[in-house]
Amino acid sequence: MCLTVVNRLLEKTGTDPARIGRLEVGTETIIDKSKSVKSVLMQLFAESGNLDLEGVDSTNACYGGTAALFNSINWVESSAWDGRLALAVCGDIAVYAAGPARPSGGAGAVAMLIGPNAPLVLDRGVRSSHMEHVYDFYKPDMSSEYPVVDAPLSIRSYLSSLDACYNKYRAKAANRGHENITLDSFDAMVFHTPYCKLVQKSLARVCLNDYVNLDKEHKSKLAHLEKFSEVCLEKSYTDRDVEKAFMAHSLQRFEAKTKPSLLVATNVGNMYTPSVYGGLISYLVSGCSRSLAGQHVAVFSYGSGSASSFFSIRVTSEEGHLEPLLKCLSDVQSRLSDRRKMAPEEFVATLGGREKAVHAAPYTPQGETETMFPGTWFLASIDEMHRRKYDRTPTTLSKANGH
C-alpha cells in the first residue's frame, strides 16, 4: 500500500524522484523487526539514482504517521535541509480477532508531500502533545496480527488525551496573543477515527471543554446546560448525561465542522496511522477551492499507548494555489465507489488465510490481482529466506476488465 501511494503521488504531481530528500514512514503494521518499510520504498527511487534520502520508520500505534509528518516538517525547517522536498507516508492494515471490534477494521495508506510554498501550512508555536504510559491497545504477540484491546480504557485514554492536548493548545495560543481559542476559532476539526461515533463524542468533548472554561456569566446564558455548570472533566468520562447533553449541544457544529471529514472512515473503517489524514482528505474533497481557501483546520491525532497531538493548519487563501492539491484528490469518491463488494464470509475467510500465513516462508499469496486498481503494488512472493518480492498491476486496464 505504501509503494502504491508513493508511486501515485509522484506520478500525479509530476514530481521527479530526485527532488525528494527525506522519506519517513509511520506504521504499526510491522512485517520485519529490523528492516524498515521505508527501505522497501527505496526501490521507487533506484532508477533516478537518488539514494540520498533521510528517514526510516516511526512506530507508536496510530500516531506514527503524525510523527513522520512532524519529523519531515522539522527537517525542512532545520539547518540540515538541502532544499529538496520531504515525503511523509502512513499506512496500515487494521484487523481484529473475531468479536465486536472486527467490523471496525480497515486498511489504507496516505502519502504527503512537504516543502515550501505549500497550500496547507501548519501553525507555528501552538502544537501541543500528550504522552502517557497506558496499556489500552497493544500488540505483544509477534506471531499474530491482532491487538490486545481494553476498549473502555482506550476510549477514556483517547478523550483524556484530547482534553489535555486541547487545553495545552489553548494555553500556547494565549501565550502568542490569541487568548480565547474555542471550537468557533476553527472552520473544521478533524480527529483520528477508530470509529465514527467516537469522533462525534470527541467534538462534543471539545464543546464541554469550552463550556468548562466559561465564566459564570457566560454559562448562565446557556440555560439548557445549567445542571452541568460545576462539571469536572476528570470525573465526566463515563457520565452518560454529560455526554448526551453535549452531543446534542454540539450537533450543528459537528454537522458543519467535522462530519464532512468522515467520508473515508465511513467507507473504509479504521486505518490506524492514515486515519486522521484520511479525515483531512475527506474534508478537503467535501468543498471547492473557493469555499476552502483561507480556512483554519484543527487536527487531533491519537495513538494508543499513548501518544497524541493537537495542531492546526491554515489553508492558503489563493484559490489557484489550492487547486492542484484538490485535483490530486479529485478521484477519491470515484475510487471508493469503484471498489468490489465482498460478503462478510469472504472477509472472514481472507483473515483466516492471513492468520495461517503470518511468518510463513516460502509463501505465495493467494487471490486475484486482476480486480485491483491500475498501478497497484502487491506482494508477489516470499522466498525461503523471508525476502519479499513486490509487483505492480498495469497502469491502464481495458474496458472489458473494468475496475
Strand partners, 60: 62
Strand partners, 299: 190, 311
CB within 8 Å of 36: residues ≥ 6 apart: 25, 56, 57
Which residue from 8, 2, 4 is spatially nearest to 23, judged by alpha carbons? Answer: 2
Q: Which three cell numbers, joined as nine digits, stand for 284?
A: 478537503
Catalytic residue among 2, 24, 62, 249: 62
Catalytic residue among 24, 28, 165, 207: 28
E strands along 61-187, which residues?
85-94, 106-114, 120-122, 128-131, 137-138, 148-149
Which residue from 302, 253, 331 is spatially nearest to 12, judged by alpha carbons? Answer: 331
Give the C-alpha separation, 362 to 6, whole Å.
27
Give the C-alpha separation, 146 to 126, whole Å.
36
Q: Is 90 noted as a catalytic residue in this protein? A: no
Catalytic residue among 90, 130, 165, 192: 192
Q: Which three cell numbers, joined as nine digits, stand for 138?
A: 497493544
Q: Is 296 noted as a catalytic residue in this protein? A: no
Give the C-alpha separation, 181 to 168, whole Å.
11
DSSP string for residues in 334-363: HHHHTSPP--HHHHHHHHHHHHHHTT-SSB
Measured in degrees and rounded to the nearest 5, phi and psi for residue 296 equal: -115, 120
Q: Is 28 noted as a catalytic residue in this protein? A: yes
Half-sphere exposure of 20 (CA within 13 A, CB side): 32
* Catalytically annotated residues: 28, 62, 192
